[in-house]
Amino acid sequence: MKTVAYHNLGCKVNSYEMDAMIQALRQKGYRIVPFEEKADIYIVNTCTVTNIADRKSRQMLHKAKKTNPEGIVVAVGCYVQSDAQAVEADSAVDLLIGNNRKKNLVEILESYFEGVMQESVIDINHTSEYEEMQLTTTAEHTRAYIKIQDGCNQFCTYCMIPYARGRVRSRRKQDVLREIEGLAAAGYKEFVLTGIHISSYGMDFKEDQEENLLTLVQAIDTVKGVERIRLGSLEPRIVTEAFTRGLAELKHICPHFHLSLQSGCETVLKRMNRHYTPEQYLNGVEFLRRAFVHPAITTDVIVGFPGETEEEFAAGRQFVETVGFYEMHIFKYSRRKGTKAAVMPMQVSEAEKTTRSGVLQSIEKRDSKDFRSYYLSKNVEVLFEEKKEIAGKEYWIGHTREYVKVAVPAHEKTLENQLVTGKIEGFLDDEIIIMQD
């Protein structure tokens, strides 16, 4: 029995695909061991979203080869897809598998051991095939991430993902529902829809299929055993009055919406090739706040994009203060070789990026605590996930439907994967509110 160790880098889509690959290996009799141990096979599911991600991917490949020089090191995923020649030339790597070939991992591995090399890196930009995988369990015990589409057609000037993931390819609704039905029957209560650009779901289907993200969520809402549906990152333009009204009619939708902003300044958005204005973005936020009671709005923001002036940053800062996000993920712009932004003039210094990042982080910390404070003395529903020790005391930790982290003192009774409603009495720390015992 061959042993396999694995390491996953990158996004929730990568995590989903890693779970599917490990499930397939287990079904074929491979034994999974920790990545730090000596193994027969090492699988590194790589990421290429930034130059740093490429470097981390290389580091993990080299770590695997160092742990067992005789082991087979398999590089999988986005870094492979974006620069197959460089990966193939790396002496630490024995086998390459690109995107849309992960489902064939076991078959490719076994052919390799037989001395037969299969095609393992395809031209991702000229395929319309969605890579179908089905999970019966996931690494998490209460929440299941469900991949519903792959690829992106947006071509933001800072991003390599369309080149690594290809064009939009949507998963058939019946396959999504079949997977969720199986996982719900196995006890999973919360389902997070994920993909590279989930707002594009269905746009590649033929006219007779006529599916989109809303119709998919409406179908999932009827599945027995589903208690919560959470959406991954949304394109701001999808958030129309009709879309938000349709979501608000559903029983299980979580009022937690991640709308990717990147900048609150219109001229910066244009240089990024983002296809909306701050005004359009704010309209979407207002639609959500009319349709739901106190929805959580979260976002991503890039500071120090090429050419970002003090005036542009000030406009962006004012915009995020106007919105009042629950959480902001703030990134300092990082040059990505092969993108248009990497060769744009007026690159912003690292020192200035750090200063601007700090300004937004202060706003984020304040607004995030304000959002959590809303729940003090209110009853909330929490899905508890794990037991954790905090300041020498054990608590059960879970999340509200708005994805606010909640703790309750742990006793003998297990709360794992239980939905509990209780009153919030205060803050345990800056990020966790506490439920009455």
pLDDT at 412: 85
pLDDT at 69: 98
CATH of the domain at 201: 3.80.30.20
303, containing H or E segment: strand 296-303
Q: Are 180 and 226 in contact (CB under 8 A)?
A: yes
pLDDT at 209: 78
In which residue ranges of the chain is pLDDT below 70? none
Same-domain check for residues 344 and 292: yes
Same-domain check for residues 281 and 330: yes
Same-domain check for residues 234 and 101: no
Same-domain check for residues 356 and 232: yes
Q: Return the SS3 of 407.
A: strand
| List of residues 6+ apart from 180 with CB closer than 8 A | 144, 146, 191, 220, 223, 226
> Across 25-132, where does the E strand assignment appear?
31-32, 41-46, 72-77, 95-97
Same-domain check for residues 103 and 173: no
Same-domain check for residues 224 and 83: no
Does some domain include residue 187? Answer: yes
Closest alpha carbon to 147 in 176, 174, 190, 119: 176
Task: Look up residue 276 and give its two tokens.
Answer: 């909306």
Does some domain include residue 393? Answer: yes
Closest alpha carbon to 382 in 413, 412, 405, 411: 405
Same-domain check for residues 273 and 364: yes
Same-domain check for residues 281 and 346: yes
Same-domain check for residues 350 and 206: yes
Q: Are 174 and 184 in contact (CB under 8 A)?
A: no
Does some domain include residue 408? Answer: yes
CA-to-CA distance for 412 and 408, rounded, in angstroms? Answer: 13
pLDDT at 139: 82
Range of the domain at 26: 3-121
Does some domain include residue 317? Answer: yes
pLDDT at 207: 77
Does some domain include residue 44? Answer: yes
Alpha helices (H) along 83-141: 84-89, 105-113
Same-domain check for residues 153 and 61: no
pLDDT at 117: 87
Same-domain check for residues 109 and 171: no
Q: Which of 90, 121, 152 is a domain's end point?
A: 121
Give the relative orientation of helices 241-248 and 278-291 as an angle to the nearest 10 degrees. Answer: 30
CATH of the domain at 23: 3.40.50.12160
Does some domain include residue 199? Answer: yes
Strands 296-303 and 433-435 come out as unpaired
Same-domain check for residues 164 and 42: no
Q: Are 381 and 189 in contact (CB under 8 A)?
A: no
Residue 165, classified by CB atoms within 10 Å of its CB into exposed (0-12), middle (13-18) or buried (19+), is: buried
Domains: count for the chain: 3
CA distances from 84 to 10, 60, 164, 409 (A): 18, 17, 11, 50
